[in-house]
């Protein structure tokens, strides 16, 4: 590992962890995700680490309809959340097993992936 990078990395972790919780013990991986009817979620591919808390915020610019109107991550976030314009969705979880977890609609149609390493 390049030694010069360690202090910057530590500062980045502190910055990320501070606002999410007053306990702020574990480093969190934070993702900000958009949603539009035209492009669905963006970005839609993520890589995270096993045992590290993941914090995903989705800010829908549109209200989703039909099959893709709810979002879930089977195995990581099993409760479908409706995509409603202006209503922020927050998903927080700590992946325990490596693997590729699909991001789906409530019935399992794939719209993205979370790779847990
Ligand atoms: Cu569906």
Contact 94, 55 (CB under 8 A): no
What are the phi and psi torsion angles at 33 (to 5°)? -125, 135
Q: 54, 38, 37: which is closest to 46 by C-alpha?
A: 54
pLDDT (tens digit per residue) in 56-115: 999 999 999 999 999 999 999 999 999 999 999 999 999 999 999 999 999 999 999 999
Which pair of tokens denotes residue 21?
């919780």
CATH of domain 27-116: 2.60.40.420
Q: How far is the CA of 3 from the centre of ligand 1 (A)?
A: 47
CA 23 from chain center: how many Å?
Answer: 20
**Average pLDDT over every residue of 4-15:** 49
Q: How far is the CA of 5 from the centre of ligand 1 (A)?
A: 43
Per the confidence metrics, is the pTM higher than 0.85?
no
> Which residues, by Cβ under 5 Å, contact ligand 1, an ion?
67, 105, 107, 109
- Quickly state the pLDDT bin for 28 (edges 50, 70, 90): confident
Kindly list the domain boundaries of the chain, sorted by start residue. Answer: 27-116
- Cβ atoms within 10 Å, residue 56: 23
Q: How far is the CA of 108 from the centre of ligand 1 (A)?
A: 6
């Amino acid at each position: 590992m390049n030694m010069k990078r360690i202090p910057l990395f530590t500062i980045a972790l502190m910055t990320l962890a501070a606002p999410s919780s007053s306990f702020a013990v574990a480093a969190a991986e934070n993702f900000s995700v958009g949603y539009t009817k035209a492009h669905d979620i963006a970005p839609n591919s993520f890589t995270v680490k096993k045992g590290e808390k993941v914090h995903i915020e989705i800010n829908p610019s549109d209200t989703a309809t039909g099959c893709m109107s709810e979002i879930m991550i089977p195995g990581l976030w099993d409760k479908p959340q409706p995509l409603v314009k202006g209503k922020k969705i927050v998903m927080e979880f700590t992946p325990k097993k490596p693997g590729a977890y699909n991001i789906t609609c409530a019935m399992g149609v794939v719209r993205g992936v979370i790779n847990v390493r």
